[in-house]
Structure formats: C-alpha cells, structure tokens
Amino acid sequence: MASNSGKVTDWVDPKDKSGEFKRQVSSFRDWVSNEPNARFPPEKGRYHVYISYACPWATRVIIARKLKGLEDFITVSSVHWHLGEKGWRFPTAQDTDAEGENVVPDPLHEDFTHMRQIYFESAPDYTGRFTVPVLYDKKQNVIVNNESSEILRMLGTAFDDHLDEAHRSVVLYPTALQSQIDEANEWHYDKINNGVYKSGFATTQEAYERNVTLLFEALDKAEAHLAATAAEGPYYLGKQLTEVDIRLFVTIIRFDPVYVQHFKCNIRDIRSGYPHIHKWMRNLYWNHPAFKDTTNFLHIKNHYTRSHTQINPLSITPVGPLPDILPLDDDVPAAEAVKAGKV
C-alpha cells in the first residue's frame, strides 16, 4: 500500500503489477470502555470525531452518533471535501464552497491546517495514510481509534450507562442477530463497501473487471435478500435497524451520484436496476434524520471527482444523475410510465 512518502493518488502502489487496490490496516485501535481504570472512559464532552462528509467510512460513525444521541459526548468536525497532495485539509474561514454542519477549522488546534498533523501529534513516526474517521480524546490529546467499524461498534454500547432509555434501547449489534450481522458485514465489506474502491482504483483492466463483476454479484445477492424478506422489513435484517443498515447505506447512497460513473461501477445503477435496494435506501434516508442529515451530496460529489486526479485529471464534476436521490415514492421516468400504463 502507498505510504505517505508516495503521491497521494497512489492508492495502488505503482510498483504493484496486479493493479489491485489493497486497503491499509488501521493503526489506532483503542476503545472507549467502562472497565475500571480504562484509559478512555466514557465521559461527556471528552471525545471528538474528525470526519469527512464525503467519506463513507466516516459517515458510518456520525450516523451512529445521531442514532444513539451522543451529540453531547462526542463533538464532530468535518474536513474540507478536497483531498490534496498533503491529504485532507481543515476548512478555513475563507472557504465558501464547502457548506455543511460542522464544516469548520480544526476546533481543537488553532494552528493545524491538515489531518496529518493530528496523526503526527499522536505518533510522530506514523507512516500510513491520514484517513478519516478519527476518534480523538480531548483530555489526553491522542487518537483513540481510526477504524470506522470499531468506532461504530464502540458507539453502540460504550456510553450506554449515561444515556436515557430511548437511546440506550437503540441496539445496533443485538445478540440475537450477531451471527447474521457478522455474515452480512463480511461480504458487504469486501465486495460492496470496498468493492467500489477496488473497481474504481484498479490500474489494470483485469483487476477492474474482476472486482466490478464481484461487486454486482454481491448487489444482486443483496437485492435478492431484500426481495425475499420485504414483508419482514423495512430494514436489512427485518424490523430492527442494525449496523448492517448503516454500513451498507453509506455505500449505496453514493452509488448513483458517484460510483456509477467515477468508479466505472456501471453494469446497472441503483435507481433503475435494484428496486428493493432502492426502496430500502430511501426509507433510511427519508424517514430517519440520522441518515439524511449526515448525507451531504456536495461534499460527496466534489470530493471524488476533484480529488482523484488519476481518474479524472480535469476535475470536472458530472452534473447528474438528477436528483441525487429520488423522493420516497417516485421512480425513474421509464418505470413511472409503466406504472401509469403509458407504455
């Protein structure tokens, strides 16, 4: 994998002849915990999470933060959507092109300009990529964890003793569903969440085709699952919203606006090719503020199309598809015409 000594756009090591994107393993793996003498106890206002609204992995964390009502426990700020040669940068007061809640200069370090400084503050010898999300302890000025799957799992329970009943009862990894969640997470992660990146970042035709084929086989499987369980829904595993919904949503919501064209994931799109996935996604977006309020299409579209100059050297952002997401009960025009008996 490319370290911070190479070009920022070298997601595939130029020396790697396979052309395959291999995602780095995250480095900071501590936990907020209730255990006596824990290094990171669950205290109100003690933690901060650095995110990008563009990033699906980071968005997992802020969806969970809202669902669990953790706004008073964990403050949040978003980087600017542009990922440049020095990685993510903090917005400045002069930026007028990156609107969104908490899109602000680093609230914790007045002189910091880039995410990399957060990493070097905790680990001066750090040689990996400077990724978001980062869960940060404001008391000790250190990174707690930079692996979104673990932060998501942690937020599901770590603060529960301090929450009201309504938020404590939001259980994202319930015991009765754990084996189903683990099973779904595994192939969703490899073939869908990371599959879009493996398709889009591939530097050979073979690597691209292999990964895009696996991606669409997995989408077909998710569609079949949602079709077969539609009567038990509306969530991926039935009546209960779980982390599977959060983890799959952040990729599917970006699919038509970005991945179809920018990452060449265009065997089908969601709105015209996957009716059950489309319905499941729109229910989450339109009926749950935790999903809608954490989705920022401006950051999403601009980030990918203007930062990945190895894919899109002129940084022109495609206008469509319009709208970014269809209303709850509308369909693509061709399907609407069929419904209305006009064709």
Ligand X SMILES: N[C@@H](CCC(=O)N[C@@H](CS)C(=O)NCC(=O)O)C(=O)O
By CB under 6 A, residue 148 contacts ligand X: yes
Q: Is 26 in the site for ligand X (CB under 6 A)?
A: yes
Of residues 40 and 326, the one with the C-beta less far from ligand X: 40
Is-contact 241 181, C-beta < 8 A?
no
Instruction: Kindly tell me which of 114 and 225 has the beta carbon lying closer to ligand X.
Output: 114
Are 229 and 244 a contacting pair, CB within 8 Å?
no
Q: Which residue has the tokens 């400045």?
A: 92
Establish whether the linkage from the previous residue to 289 is cis, with ω within 30° of 0. no
Rounded to an integer, what distance in angstroms lies between the CA atom of residue 277 and that of residue 264? 19
Instruction: List residues bridging with 123 in a β-sheet.
Output: none
For 85, 124, 327, 331, the CA distances from 340, given in Å and listed in that order, are 51, 63, 17, 11
Q: Does 126 bind ligand X (CB under 6 A)?
A: no
Residues 203-232 that bind ligand X (CB under 6 A): none
| 263 assigned to a ligand binding site | no
Options 13-21, 28-36, 52-60, 94-102: segment touching ligand X (CB under 6 A): 52-60
Site for ligand X in 4-23 (CB under 6 A): 8
Known catalytic residue: 265? Answer: no
Asked whether residue 159 is marked as a ligand-binding residue, the answer is: no
- Determine, following the binding rule CB under 6 A, whether residue 257 of this chain makes contact with ligand X: no
If one asks whether residue 195 binds ligand X (CB under 6 A), the answer comes out as no
Candidates 63-71, 91-99, 144-152, 243-251: pick the segment binding ligand X (CB under 6 A): 144-152
Cα separation, 325 vs 81, whole angstroms: 20
DSSP 193-235: ITHHHHHHT--SHHHHHHHHHHHHHHHHHHHHHHHHTGGG-SB
Listed ranges 131-139, 184-192, 258-266, 330-338: which one lies at the site for ligand X (CB under 6 A): 131-139
Judged by CB under 6 A, the stretch of 105-113, 145-153, 156-164, 292-300 that binds ligand X is 145-153
| Annotated binding residue 23 | no
Report in angstroms how near the CB of residue 57 gets to ligand X at its nearest: 3
Q: Which of 87, 91, 195, 273 binds ligand X (CB under 6 A)?
A: 87
Is there binding between residue 131 and ligand X (CB under 6 A)? Answer: yes
Residue 55 among the catalytic residues: yes
Distance CA 102, CA 71 (A): 12
In the complex, the smallest distance separating the C-beta of residue 152 from ligand X, rounded to whole angstroms, is 9
Q: What is the enclosing helix (H) or strand (E) of 253?
A: helix 243-254
Residues 57, 73, 119, 291: which binds ligand X (CB under 6 A)? 57
Question: How would you classify the pairing of strands 142-145 and 74-78?
Answer: unpaired
Q: Check if the beta carbon of residue 308 is closer than 8 Å to that of residue 9.
A: yes
The annotation status of 130 as a binding-site residue, yes or no, is yes
Nearer to ligand X, 85 or 161 (CB): 85
- 272 among annotated binding-site residues: no
Please give the Cα distance from 212 to 220 (Å, whole number): 12
Please tell me which residue in 47, 197, 208, 236 is annotated as part of the active site. Answer: 197
**119 CB-contact burial (10 Å; exposed 0-12 / middle 13-18 / buried 19+):** buried
Residues that bind ligand X (CB under 6 A): 8, 26, 55-57, 83, 87, 129-133, 146-148
Q: Which residue positions form the known binding site?
A: 88, 129-132, 147-148
Residues annotated catalytic, as ranges: 55, 197
